[in-house]
Amino acid sequence: MTTASTKKASDQEGRLLLAIRAYESKQISSIRATAKSYNVP
């Protein structure tokens, strides 16, 4: 069974991976803007 904290961490990890891909593919030019767009620290 998945706990709430495990799901939250998994969701954050997914957003982080998407943010990295967006930044590396030049979809967003600033790492700070990328983090803000994907709501990652």
Q: Three-state SS across the chain?
A: CCCHHHHHHHHHHHHHHHHHHHHHCCCCCCHHHHHHHHCCC
> Does residue 14 register a pLDDT over 80?
yes
> Does residue 41 register a pLDDT over 80?
yes
> Does residue 30 register a pLDDT over 80?
yes
Query: Per-residue confidence at 1, pLDDT binned at 50, 70, 90?
Result: low
The reported pLDDT for the residue numbered 25 is: 97
